[in-house]
């Protein structure tokens, strides 16, 4: 089942390859035809013809458009239908993808011809069309299966990400939206958010708060969840399933219901204010415009309410796999409960949950829901289109979806990606689970 190893470099194949392999290199499918594999050869030729038609028809234009992003601005007075830069960008990227796909087909075609040659040298004969087809259900089953998922991920994950990265280097957004022409601006957007502009101060403040938020809430949730699991794991606790059911309840309620519910709870007309006014106090604006730290604290609490149960469930599962003989030995040697926890349980749990910790950290860093629901749509003085509880991702949303600052938004998402990936790489490579175990089987 193992694919043919290395040593199949194009140069090597050209050297070792016979006439047919070289023919395949020159024209896709030709080598197959010469081997008498009519069906396959025609298929390759058909792909080539389609690709050629596409590139002649519009592909080359799209590729050029990727660089110019349009040259003719629309003018309704003169009746000129101008170029739409954004669509040109998208189509240009698609053309690049098409070219890459063609390259892949071409290399597959050469490799196929080469394999056929090897097979003939060993005294076999070229595979017939049905045999190739059958191989897709057997030896090459993985190709059949992975085709759709990879296509889907390419179109709906990679294309948007590449598109977004491209936009970060243009001036798309603000007043410059089609029909106006968009242009490449290099690193201008990065310079804008880092230095003097209306974006810079807001970016600094939000980034700082975002880091504080991610670290504190991850730590809080993690240790609260672990503590809860340890508590439930105690011998004196009977009916563990009963106690566990309550956090499970919180885990099972869909997140937006929880968040909207808490928003109602802390609103002016909500029950908490109802009790305060009932006791003769004045209603408190828990999530109001001047409630900076109160709102942040509520954010931490609500996030804990949502995330602690899942960590507890996870930790419970991991604690069950502990090596109990080690604990026993430590106890006999006179270690107290805290020492056992500090030196045996904690390292073990940390080891097993490093990936979870990382994904929790990233999840919290980009926790869109919490403040979107609790304080969505609030703009505060001193912040450009954001509030003092907004995380970068909320700001990104405000900027790009609500206010059309697309290129700045894309730049911020790149910055977010850089921060999260660097941090998680750092945590990951320093963690024990990376050093002692290869993650991929």
Near another protein in 124-163, by CB under 8 A: 134, 137-139, 141-142, 145-146, 148-150, 152-153, 155-161, 163
Contact call for residue 347 and another protein (CB under 8 A): no
Point out which span in 196-204, 214-222, 242-250, 340-348 binds another protein (CB under 8 A): 242-250
Q: How far is the CB of 101 from another protein (least distance, A)?
A: 15
Phi-psi region of 254 (alpha: psi -120 to 50; beta: other; left: phi over 0): beta
CA nearest to 258, candidates 320, 322, 226, 304: 304
C-alpha count within 13 angstroms, C-beta hemisphere, residue 210: 26
Q: How far is the CB of 137 from another protein (least distance, A)?
A: 4
Instruction: Provide the Cα torsion 28, 31, 37, 43; round to 10°.
Output: 0
Structure token pair of residue 283 = 């209603």
What is the size of the binding site for another protein (CB under 8 A)?
A: 98
Distance CA 407, CA 413 (A): 10
User: b/e map of 234-247 (b: 16 or more CB within 10 Å)?
Assistant: eeeeeeeeeebeeb
Contact call for residue 231 and another protein (CB under 8 A): yes
Figure out which of the listed residues 29, 65, 126, 369 binds another protein, where binding follows CB under 8 A: 369
Structure token pair of residue 162 = 């590449």
Q: How far is the CB of 45 from another protein (least distance, A)?
A: 25
The alpha carbons of the chain give a radius of gyration, in whole angstroms, of: 30
Nearer residue to another protein within complex by CB, 19 or 240: 240
Contact between 239 and 220 under an 8 Å Cβ cutoff? The reply is no
Nearer residue to another protein within complex by CB, 41 or 65: 65
Figure out which of the listed residues 269, 280, 334, 377 binds another protein, where binding follows CB under 8 A: 269
Contact call for residue 261 and another protein (CB under 8 A): yes
Distance CA 69, CA 165 (A): 15
What is the DSSP secondary structure assignment for residue 59, as one 8-state letter? I
Figure out which of the listed residues 1, 78, 196, 332 binds another protein, where binding follows CB under 8 A: 1
Map the footprint of another protein across residues 302-341, applying CB under 8 A.
305, 309-310, 313-314, 316-318
Contact call for residue 439 and another protein (CB under 8 A): yes
Nearer residue to another protein within complex by CB, 34 or 371: 371
Contact between 182 and 69 under an 8 Å Cβ cutoff? The reply is yes
Q: How far is the CB of 4 from another protein (least distance, A)?
A: 8
The C-alpha angle 380, 386, 388, rounded to 5 degrees, equals 65
C-beta atoms surrounding 307 within 10 Å: 24
Distance CA 361, CA 353 (A): 12
φ/ψ (deg, to 5) at 264: -60, -40
The length of the chain in residues reads 441
Figure out which of the listed residues 123, 278, 280, 377 binds another protein, where binding follows CB under 8 A: 278
**3-class secondary-structure state, position 440:** coil
Contact call for residue 87 and another protein (CB under 8 A): yes
Nearer residue to another protein within complex by CB, 282 or 441: 441
Contact call for residue 187 and another protein (CB under 8 A): no
Figure out which of the listed residues 96, 253, 327, 380 binds another protein, where binding follows CB under 8 A: 253
Nearer residue to another protein within complex by CB, 42 or 265: 265
Point out which span in 12-20, 73-81, 214-222, 391-399 binds another protein (CB under 8 A): 391-399
- Residues 165, 167, 169, 173: is their CA dihedral positive or negative? negative
Contact call for residue 184 and another protein (CB under 8 A): no
Contact call for residue 346 and another protein (CB under 8 A): no
Map the footprint of another protein across residues 28-47, applying CB under 8 A.
none
CA nearest to 88, candidates 157, 168, 172: 172
Figure out which of the listed residues 35, 106, 203, 262 binds another protein, where binding follows CB under 8 A: 262
Contact call for residue 55 and another protein (CB under 8 A): no
Contact call for residue 90 and another protein (CB under 8 A): yes
Nearer residue to another protein within complex by CB, 12 or 245: 245
C-beta atoms surrounding 377 within 10 Å: 9
Contact call for residue 236 and another protein (CB under 8 A): yes
Map the footprint of another protein across residues 64-83, applying CB under 8 A.
none
């Amino acid at each position: 089942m193992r694919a043919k190893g290395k040593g199949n470099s194009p140069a090597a194949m050209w050297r070792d390859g016979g006439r047919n392999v070289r023919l395949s290199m020159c024209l896709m499918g030709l080598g197959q035809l010469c081997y008498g594999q009519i069906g396959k050869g025609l298929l390759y030729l058909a792909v080539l013809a389609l690709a050629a038609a596409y590139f002649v028809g519009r592909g080359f234009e799209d590729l050029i458009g990727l660089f110019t992003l349009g040259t003719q601005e629309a003018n309704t007075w003169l009746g000129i239908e101008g170029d739409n830069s954004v669509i040109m960008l998208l189509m240009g990227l698609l053309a690049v993808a098409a070219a890459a796909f063609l390259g892949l087909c071409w290399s597959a075609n050469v490799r196929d011809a080469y394999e056929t040659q090897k097979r003939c040298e060993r005294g076999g004969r070229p595979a017939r069309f049905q045999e190739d087809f059958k191989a897709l259900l057997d030896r090459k089953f993985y190709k059949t299966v992975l085709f759709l998922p990879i296509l889907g991920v390419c179109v709906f994950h990679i294309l948007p990400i590449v598109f977004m990265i491209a936009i970060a280097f243009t001036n798309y957004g603000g007043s410059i939206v089609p029909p106006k022409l968009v242009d490449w601006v290099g690193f201008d957007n990065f310079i804008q958010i880092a230095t003097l502009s209306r974006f810079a101060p807001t970016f600094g403040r939000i980034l700082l708060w975002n880091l504080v938020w991610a670290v504190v809430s991850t730590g809080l949730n993690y240790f609260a969840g672990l503590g809860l699991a340890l508590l439930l794991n105690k011998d004196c606790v009977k009916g563990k399933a009963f106690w566990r059911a309550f956090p499970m309840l919180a885990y099972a309620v869909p997140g937006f219901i929880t968040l909207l519910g808490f928003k109602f709870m802390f609103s002016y007309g909500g029950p908490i204010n109802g009790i305060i006014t009932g006791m003769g106090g004045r209603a408190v604006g828990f999530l109001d415009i001047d409630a900076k730290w109160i709102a942040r604290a509520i954010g931490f609490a609500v996030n804990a309410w949502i995330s602690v149960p899942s960590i507890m469930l996870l930790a419970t599962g991991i604690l069950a796999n502990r090596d109990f003989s080690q604990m026993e030995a430590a106890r006999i040697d006179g270690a107290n409960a805290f020492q056992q926890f500090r030196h045996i349980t904690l390292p073990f749990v940390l080891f097993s949950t490093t990936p979870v910790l990382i994904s929790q950290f990233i999840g919290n860093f980009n926790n869109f829901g919490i403040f979107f629901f609790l304080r969505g749509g609030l703009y505060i003085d001193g912040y450009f289109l954001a509030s003092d509880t907004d995380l970068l991702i909320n700001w990104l949303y405000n900027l790009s979806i609500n206010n059309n600052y697309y290129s700045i938004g894309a730049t911020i998402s790149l910055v977010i990606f850089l921060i999260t990936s660097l941090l998680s790489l750092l945590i990951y490579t320093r963690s024990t689970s990376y050093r002692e175990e290869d993650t991929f089987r």
